[in-house]
Amino acid sequence: MLVCYETTNSDSLKSCCSSLSSKASSIVKGSKMRYAVVTGANKGIGFGICKQLISNGITVVLTARNEKRGVEAMQKLKECGITNDLVVFHQLDVVDPSSVSSLAEFIETSFGRLDILVWS
């Protein structure tokens, strides 16, 4: 069993995931890959949705307006044992047309399609 922890402001530790990486890896083997984008995925519901999608073997593009916060969310997932083949970060500001275009181009180039869009 893989267990990871996240440090809170009070430096206490709490569990953030359990066996997520191994479950996702077993699902991915022998199955058709699916791709999802989750907006606002650096915290809260969006972050939780990312973990659920990954645990079901879905490759997730984690997006956030703030690049630093997005990278921090990615780091939390990596601490849980999630690898870069199941989650990638891309900066996205949904009200900025050039940011949306950049994400669309990234998805087309990297995956060729999008199966799931979660607007969080």
List the chain domain ranges: 3-118
Measured distance CA(81)–CA(18) in Å, rounded: 10
pLDDT at 22 > cutoff 50: no
pLDDT at 27 > cutoff 80: no
Of residues 68 and 23, more confidently modeled: 68
Evaluate the CA torsion angle 119, 9, 54, 99 in order and state its sign.
positive
The stretches of 40-113 forming alpha helices (DSSP H) are 44-55, 67-79, 97-110
To the question of domain 3-118 being in CATH 3.40.50.10490, the answer is no
CA dihedral 48, 28, 67, 92 (to 10 degrees): -90
pLDDT per residue as tens digits for the range 53-102: 999 999 999 999 999 999 999 999 999 888 878 999 999 999 999 999 99
